[in-house]
Amino acid sequence: MNRYFTILFCVLIVAVGCAPKAIPGPDGKQGPTGQRGQKGLEGSQGERGLQGPPGPKGEPGKSISAEVLNNLKQKLDLLDSSMDKKEKICALISYKEGIAPPILGFAALTTNGKILFMKNPSPISIGSKFEFQVQIADRPDFVALNVLDGSEGEKTFYVAITADGHHYYSEDLKKWNSQGQSSF
Total-model pTM: 0.52
Q: Give 170: exposed, middle or buried? Use CB within 10 Å, 0-12, 13-18, 19+.
A: buried
- Reference 174, options 139, 132, 138; nearest CA is 132
Residues 6+ positions from 142 with CB-CB distance below 8 Å? 90, 91, 109, 110, 111, 112, 113, 136, 160, 161, 162, 163
Tens place of pLDDT for every residue, the chain, 184 residues? 677 778 877 777 766 666 677 777 788 888 888 888 888 888 888 888 888 898 898 888 888 888 888 888 888 877 776 665 678 899 999 888 877 778 889 999 999 999 999 999 888 889 889 999 999 998 888 999 998 887 766 788 899 999 999 999 998 889 999 988 887 6
Task: Give the DSSP H or E segment for 13.
Answer: helix 2-18
